[in-house]
Amino acid sequence: MKIFNGKILFLDRSDINTDEIIPAKYLTELTKEALKPYCLEDLSLPGFDPKRDIAGKSVIVTRANFGCGSSREHAPWVLECNGINLVIAENFARIFRQNMFNCGLMAISLKKSEIDEIFATFAGAEATLVTDLAKKTFTVSNAKISKVFAFDIGEFDLELVKAGGWVNYADSKY
Amino acid sequence: MGKTVAQKIFDAHTVDTPAPGVRVLSLDRVFCHEITTPIAINDLVAIGKDRVFDPTKIKAVIDHVTPAKDSKTAEQGKTMREWAKRQGIKDFFDVGENGVCHAIFPEKGFIRPGFTIIMGDSHTCTHGAFGAFAAGVGTTDLEVGILKGVCTMREPATIKIVLNGKLRDGVFAKDVILAVIKLLTVNGATDKVIEFAGSAVDDMRMDSRMTLCNMAIEAGGTCGICYPDMVTVDFLWPFIGKDFSSKDAALAEYSKYLPDADAVYDKVVTLDVSEIEPQVTFGYKPDQVKSVREMEGTAVNQIYIGSCTNGRLEDLRIAAGILKGKRISENVRAIVSPATPKIYREALNEGLIAIFMDAGFCVTNPTCGACLGMSNGVLAAGESCASTTNRNFNGRMGKGGMVHLMSPATVAATAIAGVITNSPLFTGK
């Protein structure tokens, strides 16, 4: 099972699409690792610099409808290549969300009020998130404060995370 | 309690319910193209499972970048070609026979009402126009689909969009779906199926229904679905004629997948399409939509007619009808990509290609082309394109470029004017 802890990359915008996460011109790459330098290259977000802001981050916290658009699994792959195994948002585009769990990664929805609270309390400074899958909680901390948020994860999604993805799961069952 | 179309199709295909609200469905078709499939193939080889569940149910095409533009895309094509041969996949469409996946697969008669279909392409929702459940998936879902012929889906909540009334002259399915996406927003149908019902859909040919369903994903929808009727049966008849004693018998069979009268919908939205005028997008999201009238006079640099949304014969006929005897503005360059070789040939035979060329268009081979800026027709920073495609995301057609989505009629009129303008077909009546 993958690790779902680490420093948070805050992306304060809704409807971040797959073309922004990994532009189509890089879809000719034949390995996942080759995508690594192009993560979030076309993201429209004032102040965001992919070359500066992604390194060392392990969790994305963002707003609504993250990963909308294309079916390209290159989007979860490029996040994973950069050490990001967990995205937390108000909701996700269906295909992106399924792709995350299919890879054994996590895409977790929190209520809008909780996302608002995380942004209000922690964005703008270094913050860390620790996942407790057994208790289904995230602990978000900075130098001064620490807050715990409960989350829901579907039984089947959890199976995929534990199995390390859908290929392993399906091959053992069907 | 009554069932929606997707619920009926799910019930007929469920092989497992691994958890509440999740179904594992058997698949009637797995469609493949060269951008999202090779990594699945390579992974299957790497894990020692280089097999396919049923080579007759897998259909494959090279369409996004074709003919190959460089060594990497050549490698993607080679991977597909060798795999299709190795696995005995007879319906593989390579250079010379290939076209845009969501145009060529329907044209070949691969879809039936009630089918379950996946593909590693978000616009797979197009095939719901035939009353099928067709959903875009990622490479891992595709890989399992190829290997096992199954895919997981959540229970399909459905939004019903009832389109009543008659379209005004010069208003097309593209304008309708842009108006619907504006209404729903890009997140409005996330995790939901969209059923398109009403007299305006009944009046549409399959080409238009595919345009409608093609953009369901732009509202977040899993699949767009139109109800199978005699229009569907007529389209499919060359392929199904041997299976049924009459068209009525075929329709009776396919009517199993019509929704129950008491089906439960997440939401029902009713629109009078006679109130819709030609639509165009203005931003980087497909729900940023205005009327062409409001955007009149906006300059563009490039014109593009093609794609799985609007690269079909009906689209080329409409555009050519407006371009006949005219020249494009000296301020624009124009490209048309017939979506399949069959469409290309018919457009040649009907004289449409001559009209495009006389007007100053570059005619490309069938390919996804400029739509996603992977091969030809890429915009420079600061440039814009009047396009019949489906996505206007930031950077979609080239870094720093802007795409204005619109109907083939509006694109053709814009080509002549050099600025966004209503087509002469739209008179307000």
Per-residue pLDDT tens digits for B275-308: 999 999 999 999 999 999 999 999 999 999 999 9
Please give the share of chain B, as a percent, with pLDDT higher than 90: 99
Which of chain A's residues have a Cβ under 8 Å away from the Cβ of B37? none
User: Is residue A103 in a domain?
Assistant: yes
Chain segment B244-264, per-residue pLDDT in tens: 999 999 999 999 999 999 999
Chain segment A49-99, per-residue pLDDT in tens: 999 999 999 999 999 999 999 999 999 999 999 999 999 999 999 999 999
Over 90: is that where the pLDDT of A168 sits?
no
Over 90: is that where the pLDDT of A170 sits?
no
pLDDT bracket for residue A173 (50, 70, 90): confident
pLDDT at A174: 85
User: Pick from B70, B137, B373: which is nearest to A95 by CB?
Assistant: B137
User: Is residue A96 in a domain?
Assistant: yes
pLDDT at B54: 98
pLDDT at A172: 82
Please give the share of chain B, as a percent, with pLDDT higher than 70: 100
ipTM above 0.90, yes or no: yes
| Yes or no, beta carbons of B396 and A72 under 8 Å apart | no
CA distance B21 to chain A (A): 9
> Which residue shows structure tokens 């059923």?
B195
User: Pick from B35, B190, B395: which is nearest to A23 by CB?
Assistant: B395
pLDDT bracket for residue B428 (50, 70, 90): confident
Q: What is the DSSP letter of A36?
A: G
pLDDT bracket for residue B1 (50, 70, 90): confident
Chain segment B375-425, per-residue pLDDT in tens: 899 999 999 999 999 999 999 999 999 999 999 999 999 999 999 999 999
CATH code assigned at A81: 3.20.19.10
State the DSSP H helix or E strand holding residue A172, giving kind and residue range, or none if neither.
Answer: helix A166-173
**Residue B219 identity (one-letter amino acid):** A
Which of chain B's residues have a Cβ under 8 Å away from the Cβ of A93? 190, 220
Assess contact for B352 and B344: CB atoms under 8 A. Answer: no
Instruction: List b or e across A127-164, with b for residues whose CB sees 16 or more CB atoms inside 10 angstroms.
Output: bbbebeeeeeebebbbeeeeeebebebeebbebbbebe
| Yes or no, beta carbons of A94 and B372 under 8 Å apart | no
Chain segment A25-48, per-residue pLDDT in tens: 999 998 899 999 999 999 999 999
Q: Which residue of A has its CA nearest to B69?
A: A28
User: Is residue A127 in a domain?
Assistant: yes
pLDDT at A133: 95
Assess contact for B387 and B369: CB atoms under 8 A. Answer: no
Calpha distance A30→B35 (Å, rounded)? 9
User: Is residue A1 in a domain?
Assistant: no
Q: Going by C-beta distance under 8 Å and a sequence separation of 6 or more, which residues neighbour residue B129?
A: B106, B206, B209, B210, B212, B213, B224, B225, B226
pLDDT at B33: 98
State mean pLDDT over A121-134: 97
Over 90: is that where the pLDDT of B429 sits?
no
Calpha distance B107→B236 (Å, rounded)? 9
User: Is residue A90 in a domain?
Assistant: yes
Q: Bridge-partner residues for B195, per DSSP?
A: B160, B225
- Total domains in chain A come to 1
Q: Which domains are assigned to chain B?
A: 5-271 (3.30.499.10), 282-417 (3.30.499.10)
Calpha distance A170→A143 (Å, rounded)? 43
pLDDT at B19: 93
State mean pLDDT over B18-47: 96
Chain segment B300-351, per-residue pLDDT in tens: 999 999 999 999 999 999 999 999 999 999 999 999 999 999 999 999 999 9
Residues of the domain holding A10:
6-173
